[in-house]
């Protein structure tokens, strides 16, 4: 597979987002299945792996660390802090955004232990804690770099203005924001800011949380704890409207000679060498399908028609519900 630059690292143009091996889309698969996916990614040559303290409240990092430890020198390992599981008065873990310097240090040290490594290649601030100046959080991350616990730093779900503030404290290697045909928010200001500052844009949810795989025909079948149940685009009314986009979308995929998922990923790869998608999957065959998107070439006219079909004006519903929107800092249309 072709490689792209992620700060000082040369990584495969498509990485693996590890979240759904332990988190978010209902009951996670058994660890054995997650191990199979991770090992298959290594066998397929993937060199970029992305996890976080939040995912499975540490279980995802434990899985990634256990399976990838023998391959540590061959991969670029990314994780995130500032958003993690914290026990409540009954000992039940709850997700908490906390960007205080002491918390970021503790999150990082916990991640190093779970990942069974001495250093994290790219360490993101998972969410900007708006009660804490981003400069303070990034300052704490810069000290982790100085101590050799982290090689480079990144930000997640932030605006261009916040990126500039952070970058003034310490060079930011990457911003990880949701980016796909149906979530074009980075094009408001983040794309330009990243190019100006030499920052890579790592695109999570690049296949629109399964929608652009043509894999969510009936939202009533989603598991009770599937996070898509909290997302307006997947409620019955909006989803019914969005499904109307799929027949023409499937036809464009056929014209391009690829699957719907590959079309979504190929479009992102065509956005620029500084864009790196990290799709996630629990299925080895889907992993191979995703990675093959790096070989898909799209004609200019097909890209034009694709962007006219699926964009911020044609997609129905917000990407996040009210609470999640309050927690992020990204620009909105």
* pLDDT tens figures, 93-143: 999 999 999 999 999 999 999 999 999 999 999 999 999 999 999 999 999
pTM of this structure:
0.97
Q: Is 276 among the domain residues? A: yes
Q: Is 332 among the domain residues? A: no
Per-residue pLDDT, 300: 98
Catalytic position from the list 25, 55, 124, 320: 55
C-alpha dihedral (136, 141, 146, 147), degrees to nearest 10? 120
Q: Is 113 among the domain residues? A: yes
Confidence of residue 215 (pLDDT cuts 50, 70, 90): confident
Confidence of residue 248 (pLDDT cuts 50, 70, 90): very high
Query: Can you say whether residue 210 is alpha, beta or left, with left for phi > 0 and alpha for psi between -120 and 50 degrees?
Result: left
Residues 288-327: tens digit of each pLDDT = 999 999 999 999 999 999 999 999 999 999 999 999 999 9
Q: Is 69 among the domain residues? A: yes
Per-residue pLDDT, 113: 98
Confidence of residue 1 (pLDDT cuts 50, 70, 90): confident
What's phi and psi for 227, nearest 5 deg?
Answer: -65, -20
Q: Is 323 among the domain residues? A: yes
Residues 2-31: tens digit of each pLDDT = 999 999 999 999 999 999 999 999 999 999
Paired sense of beta strands 9-12 and 120-125, if any: unpaired
DSSP per-residue string spanning 183-205? B-GGGTTHHHHHHHHT-EEEEES
Question: What crossing angle do the helices spanning 300-309 and 260-269 adopt, rounded to 10°?
Answer: 110
Full domain range(s) for residue 265:
3-327
Q: Is 189 among the domain residues? A: yes
Per-residue pLDDT, 137: 98
Per-residue pLDDT, 150: 98
Q: Is 333 among the domain residues? A: no
Domain count, the chain: 1
Between the alpha carbon of residue 159 and those of residues 35, 121, 136, the distances in Å are 35, 23, 17
The CATH number covering residue 178 comes to 3.20.20.100
Residues 27-70: tens digit of each pLDDT = 999 999 999 999 999 999 999 999 999 999 999 999 999 999 99
Active site residue 123: no
- The two structure tokens encoding residue 130: 């708006």
């Amino acid at each position: 597979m072709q490689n792209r630059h992620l700060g000082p690292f040369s990584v495969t143009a498509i990485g693996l987002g590890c979240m759904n091996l332990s988190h978010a889309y209902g009951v996670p698969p058994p660890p054995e299945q997650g191990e199979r996916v991770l090992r298959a990614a290594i066998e397929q040559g993937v060199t970029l792996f992305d996890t976080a303290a939040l995912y499975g409240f540490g279980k995802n990092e434990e899985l990634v660390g256990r399976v990838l430890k023998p391959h540590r020198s061959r991969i670029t390992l990314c994780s995130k802090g500032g958003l993690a599981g914290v026990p409540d008065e009954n000992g039940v873990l709850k997700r908490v955004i906390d960007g205080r310097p002491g918390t970021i240090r503790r999150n990082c040290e916990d991640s190093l232990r779970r990942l069974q490594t001495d250093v994290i290649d790219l360490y993101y601030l998972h969410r900007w804690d708006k009660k804490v100046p981003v400069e303070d959080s990034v300052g704490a991350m810069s000290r982790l770099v100085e101590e050799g616990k982290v090689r480079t730093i990144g930000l997640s779900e932030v605006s261009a203005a916040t990126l500039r503030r952070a970058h003034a404290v310490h060079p930011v290697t990457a911003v990880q924001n949701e980016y796909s045909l149906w979530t074009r928010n980075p094009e408001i200001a983040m794309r330009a800011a990243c190019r100006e500052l030499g920052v890579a844009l790592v695109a999570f949810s690049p296949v629109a949380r399964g929608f652009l795989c043509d894999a969510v025909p009936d939202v009533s079948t989603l598991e009770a704890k599937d996070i898509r149940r909290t997302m307006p685009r997947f409620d019955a009314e909006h989803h019914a409207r969005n499904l109307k986009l799929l027949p023409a979308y499937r036809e464009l995929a056929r014209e391009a000679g690829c699957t719907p998922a590959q079309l979504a990923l190929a479009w992102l790869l065509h956005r620029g060498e500084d864009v790196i998608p990290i799709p996630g999957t629990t299925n080895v065959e889907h992993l191979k399908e995703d990675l093959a998107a790096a070989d898909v070439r799209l004609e200019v006219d097909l890209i034009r028609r694709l962007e006219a079909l699926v964009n911020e004006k044609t997609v129905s519903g917000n990407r996040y519900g009210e609470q999640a929107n309050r927690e992020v800092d990204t620009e909105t249309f």
